[in-house]
Structure 1
Amino acid sequence: MSKVAVVTGASQGIGAGLVTAYRKLGHRVVAVSRSMPESDDPEVLAIRADLSEAGRGVEVVEQALARFGRIDTLVNNAGIFVAKPFTEYTAEDYDAVTGINLRAFFDVSRGAVAAMVEQGGGHVVTVSTTLVDHALAAVPSALASLTKGGLNAVTKALAIEYAARNVRVNSVALGIIRTPMHAPETYDYLAGLHPVGRLGEIDEVVDAILFLEHNRFVTGEILHVDGGQSAGH
């Protein structure tokens, strides 16, 4: 039976790259995004959903299981990043960032892990940020650290909680990746934030996630894909 991967934030950028990569591996894919277009591929279930809304993540898992019968991999890629001074964040910023970064993770992962335990194993990967480990004065991003730092912590907690049940849990902590999230006119400045002097590319993130997918002895890992940013400047 073909394996099934659920990818959130799948309509563009890293998420779209992951959908393509998992299909090349022969996985059936559940692709989720607020702006997810329909797919012509019968092995791709495209779901348009705002995962910040209570219960939507639960529905996504239910639809995935109804269509394909199992979930082997979940990539929690959906996320939102708002960079501004801490005292300028609003209640609306807090709700938006925690809704996508935390509620989406909680609702989808809870159901997916339950399915993985029942079927005998699986893998959860969450996209985080290297700013959790290496804060930059030039990029004030307390809400990213608040939420993604929690995701790094729960990655380790769940890896240990479910290790004996053959469910692996890992994260990738990213530097700044060349995606539609960033305007092209900012690329030179953003590249300078990495010791290697360039932006990361989508395929480099996809490769890192596929490494975690294939190496079954890796769990509880926060894999930095950040051009050396977490090591220092």
Structure 2
Amino acid sequence: MSAKTVIVTGSSSGIGRDIARAFAARGDNVVLNGRDAGKLAAVAAELGAPERVAQVVGDIGSTATGSELVQTAVERFGRVDVLVNNAGIFGAKAFVDVTEAELDSYLDGNLKGTYRTTQAVVRQLLSQGDGGSVVNIGTVLINHALASLPASAALVSKGGVHALTTSLAAELAVHGIRVNAVAPGIIRTPLFGDGDETGSGRLALLNRIGEVSETTSAVLYLADAEFITGHILPVDGGYISGRAA
């Protein structure tokens, strides 16, 4: 297989970092993205193969960042094949206490950022004329919320990402561009921090929390699966299907 060029937003830590690692490990060209230049440079150094790794520092909430990601990919590697929309923010706060500024930050960072970055990439894919793949990162909490985790602002924005996935899958199929999403459950990332691993694990049938490598496997699968589009794949250990006890 020839190397693909993959853009991974939010790849300076957690899920995005591992996704970038996996694409680079199999020989693909990877364009990293994050807001912290130091962290991004450290990830690039870890990946090795500097001839196959590029970096774009910037917030995907800015339209300019999406354009720069595409420009960098084309200048360094000649094309774009895959976009992984991983960058985003998440937090819990009671519905009545969410400020307008906080709501805007979720909508800008999660939904609008994903929308604009995808626009920039899809324009490039259309100009190339040979299809491509977009994989969005959502959350299973859209389908099965937790009373103990009030996160309406974050979930409204991520719900929009799920809707964007199915809508674009229908619109872009005629061009051979596939659009899918991975919906993680509770995953061991810096965001999870010192959370109750045992208690959280009991929320899923497999009775544990997930690892970033398991989310990565799902992303790689959807990026390559030529006959799948419009699919939102839960990676949740059975969280939305049942409980361990």
TM-score w.r.t. structure 1 length? 0.94
In the alignment, residue 24 of structure 1 is paired with which amino acid? A
What does 1:100-115 align with in structure 2 at a 5 Å threshold? 100-115=109-124
1:185: Cα distance to partner? 4.4
In the alignment, residue 105 of structure 1 is paired with which amino acid? T
Residues 1:169 and 2:169 aligned together: no
The answer to whether the Cα contact below 8 Å between 2:31 and 2:53 also exists between their aligned partners in 1 is yes
RMSD across aligned C-alpha pairs, in angstroms? Answer: 1.5
The answer to whether the Cα contact below 8 Å between 1:71 and 1:112 also exists between their aligned partners in 2 is yes
Corresponding residue for 2:215? 205
Percent sequence identity is 39
In the alignment, residue 171 of structure 2 is paired with which amino acid? E
2:236 to 218, 221, 226: 226
**Any gaps of 5 or more consecutive residues in structure 1?**
none
What does 1:189-204 align with in structure 2 at a 5 Å threshold? 189-204=199-214
Q: Distance in 2 between matches of 1:190 and 1:182?
A: 10
Corresponding residue for 2:193? 183
Corresponding residue for 1:55? 64
Cα distance per residue 1:187-214 (max 9 Å; x no partner): 3333233232211101100111111122
Aligned residues: 233
Residues 1:140 and 2:150 aligned together: yes
Corresponding residue for 2:169? 159
Q: Distance in 2 between matches of 1:55 and 1:189?
A: 42
SS across alignment from 2:61: coil
The answer to whether the Cα contact below 8 Å between 1:6 and 1:29 also exists between their aligned partners in 2 is yes
What does 1:71-150 align with in structure 2 at a 5 Å threshold? 71-119=80-128, 120-150=130-160
1:183: Cα distance to partner? 1.5
SS across alignment from 2:40: coil
The answer to whether the Cα contact below 8 Å between 1:82 and 1:93 also exists between their aligned partners in 2 is no
Structure 1 runs, 4 residues or longer, greater than 6 Å off: none
2:40 to 37, 40, 51: 37
1:94: Cα distance to partner? 1.2
The answer to whether the Cα contact below 8 Å between 1:159 and 1:168 also exists between their aligned partners in 2 is yes
In the alignment, residue 61 of structure 2 is paired with which amino acid? S
SS across alignment from 1:204: helix
The answer to whether the Cα contact below 8 Å between 1:33 and 1:49 also exists between their aligned partners in 2 is yes
In the alignment, residue 158 of structure 2 is paired with which amino acid? K
1:182: Cα distance to partner? 1.6
TM-score w.r.t. structure 2 length? 0.90
Corresponding residue for 1:4? 5
Cα distance per residue 1:55-79 (max 9 Å; x no partner): 3222222222222221100000001
1:42: Cα distance to partner? 2.2
In the alignment, residue 64 of structure 1 is paired with which amino acid? A
In the alignment, residue 40 of structure 2 is paired with which amino acid? P
The answer to whether the Cα contact below 8 Å between 1:55 and 1:107 also exists between their aligned partners in 2 is no
Q: Distance in 2 between matches of 1:2 and 1:30?
A: 13
SS across alignment from 2:56: strand
SS across alignment from 2:196: helix
Cα distance per residue 1:117-174 (max 9 Å; x no partner): 2221100000000010111111111122211111111111111111121100000111
